Amino acid sequence: MNDTTRNPRSGHGEYKIPGGKLVVVDLRVNEGRLKDVRLSGDFFLEPPEALDAINAALEGLPCGTDAGHLADAVRGALDADVQMFGLSPEGIAVVIQRALA
Amino acid sequence: MNETSIRSQWTDFDWQLVHPGPLMPLRHMALDQVLLDEVAAGRRAPTLRIWEWAAPAVVIGIFQSLKNEVDAQAAQAHGIQVVRRISGGGAMFVEPGNTITYSIYAPLSLVEGMSFQDAYACMDDFVLQALGDLGIRAWYQPLNDITSEGGKIGGAAQARRGGAVLHHVTMAYDIDATKMLQVLRVGREKLSDKGTTSAAKRVDPLRSQTGLAREVVIQHMVDTFRRRNGLRDGALTPDEQAAAERLIGEKFGTEAWLAKVP
């Protein structure tokens, strides 16, 4: 988890949110921090540009960030009018942790 | 839920039917955006569009990863074009004549105050009724599936833009599940809460359930919509056709869009 090597490693996680949709993440870890975070999946998100905001919110967070803080980071990056269907900040936190496991 | 807003009724609108001949996959993608924009702008009346496919395709959702979802080599070997649509949801595999695909373009007021879940189910109520008339007991399975005792029949996806909503559905009519599983990467994780480990077993096509020709099922769906809501025969305008052509060049046919999520 506390990856301090200079060489970035990559991670891939998948999580089917119970009663929701599949959320997938591809990312890299560089000096213990999340890098090139790319969320994908068959969920619904309005407006679609919100996906970029979510990726950006996760970028650079320490790998050891707990699930609650990961979810908070996602929530904090979203405008009030953003709507998720089959996707949740908590689900995103789970998939990030799976990618790092 | 929202008592101050005014939800419109299906019968408030002058519904138009658009059902042109077979079109190429990229044309279908572009038309979804054009017609949604036209309805949002008030230039087009609310519309039901029935799709006919001129070529096989894998259509991925706007948020899906191209490389995670599609086996590019297998798709190429089968001559299947991969395209990305403007709505969320999962990948679908189509060959001419093997699915029933349609879109509804409606003012957002139709689903005003509804949860996303209710909005999805509301848009497909006419289909459940039509299938019921044909002897298929089908129901809406949240979040976005149409299912039956035999298994999943189809999936829906919505997109909102301005004051309009696009509701898009693909139902399996006579799907080649073996080929589908060669081109789509359907992982175990995706199936983990579905009570099955086989994507092929999840899908039970309409042909086996009705024994009816695809055209007969479509006609009955259209008739059901017409009886409930009113429906006038319409057509794509030359401006809409031109706008779709332009969007293929600028967006849907570009690598940037297809690999938007690589």
pLDDT of B43 above 60: yes
pLDDT of B32 above 60: yes
CB contacts, 8 Å: A43 with chain B: 63, 88
CB contacts, 8 Å: A24 with chain B: 65, 68
Residues in a beta bridge with B233: B17
pLDDT in tens, B190-211: 767 666 556 666 677 899 888 9
Residues in a beta bridge with A22: A16
pLDDT in tens, B208-256: 888 999 999 999 999 999 999 999 999 999 999 999 999 999 999 999 9
What is the pairing mode between strands A22-30 and B16-18? unpaired
Exposure b/e, B243-252, CB count within 10 A at least 16 = b: bbeebbeebb
Percent of chain A past pLDDT 70, that is, above it, reads: 93
Rounded Cα distance between B83 and B73, Å, is 15
Instruction: Mark yes or no for CB contact B143/A86 under 8 Å.
Output: yes
Instruction: Mark yes or no for CB contact B65/A26 under 8 Å.
Output: yes
Which helix (H) or strand (E) covers residue A44, if one does? strand A44-46
CB contacts, 8 Å: B190 with chain A: 14, 16, 22, 42
Q: Is the pTM of this model over 0.90?
A: yes
What DSSP state is assigned to residue B53? B
Residue B200 has a pLDDT of 63
Instruction: Mark yes or no for CB contact A42/B65 under 8 Å.
Output: no
Q: How many CB pairs under 8 A join A and B?
A: 72
**By mean pLDDT, which of A51-65, B44-58, B199-213, B237-251 is the weakest?**
B199-213
Residue A21 has a pLDDT of 96
Kindly report the number of other CB atoms within 10 A of residue B202's CB atom.
Answer: 18
Instruction: Mark yes or no for CB contact A42/B193 under 8 Å.
Output: no
Rounded Cα distance between B77 and A2, Å, is 43
Which helix (H) or strand (E) covers residue B232, if one does? strand B232-233
Kindly report the number of other CB atoms within 10 A of residue B63's CB atom.
Answer: 25
B88 touches chain A (CB under 8 A): yes
**By mean pLDDT, which of A31-45, B133-147, B203-217 is the weakest?**
B203-217
Kindly report the number of other CB atoms within 10 A of residue A77's CB atom.
Answer: 17
CB contacts, 8 Å: B68 with chain A: 24, 26, 40
Residue B83 has a pLDDT of 98
